[in-house]
Amino acid sequence: MITLMVNGKSHQYQDDMDMPLLWALRDVLKYTGTKYGCGKGLCGACTIHLDGQPVRACLTPVSAVEGQSITTIEGLSDDGSHPVQQAWQALNVPQCGYCQSGQIMSAVALLEHTPNPTDKQIDTAMSGNICRCGTYTRIKEAIHLASESVAKGVNVFDPKVEGADV
């Protein structure tokens, strides 16, 4: 048995230690926000953070993450209020939405290390996240918006204030 620390909560895990972390998160611990796309580290749909660094959960055996802090999309906020999530809402980034939790986790990691990224830095940081719907332009705009929001210390969008239908 090992202890997995996910989104600040500890979980006792005693299933297959060779299982990819993606399946331990989704099937065992029920954090289903992290998505399966390719299973080969190519699409970024399964991106989570390990000690603040973005990694592909489909390629990471669960045995390798004991003692590390795992963050999934569910760990960003309880209510979608993380500045990056707010920017995504404000600019209606998702189309089908399937890739977007991985996109957001990569964007959050980028902004934590590079709070005011250039277009080129965004392209580099996000190059491993594929969107079949082609939302790349809106993703880039949302990262810039979230960056401005963080710099000002405010969230960019409050659906209740804006009167949005949510």
* 56: contact with ligand FES by CB under 6 A: yes
- Give the nearest distance from C-beta 56 to ligand FES in angstroms: 4
Instruction: Give the neighbor-by-neighbor strand order of the sheet with 47-50.
Output: 9-13, 2-6, 69-71, 47-50, 53-56
Candidates 3, 16, 32, 38; binder of ligand FES (CB under 6 A) is 38
Site string for ligand FES, 59-88 (x = CB under 6 A): ------------------------------
Would you give the binding string for ligand FES spanning residues 124-163, x where CB under 6 A is met? Answer: -------xxx-x----------------------------
Residue 41 interacting with ligand FES (CB under 6 A): yes
9 forms beta bridges with 6
Judged on CB neighbours under 10 Å (0-12, 13-18, 19+), 19 is middle
Phi/psi for 157 (5° steps) reads -155, 120
Q: Which of 74, 77, 80, 98 binds ligand FES (CB under 6 A)?
A: 98
Our finding on whether 115 is near ligand FES (CB under 6 A) is no
Q: For residues 6, 8, 10 and 16, what is the CA-based torsion angle, rounded to 10 degrees?
A: 10
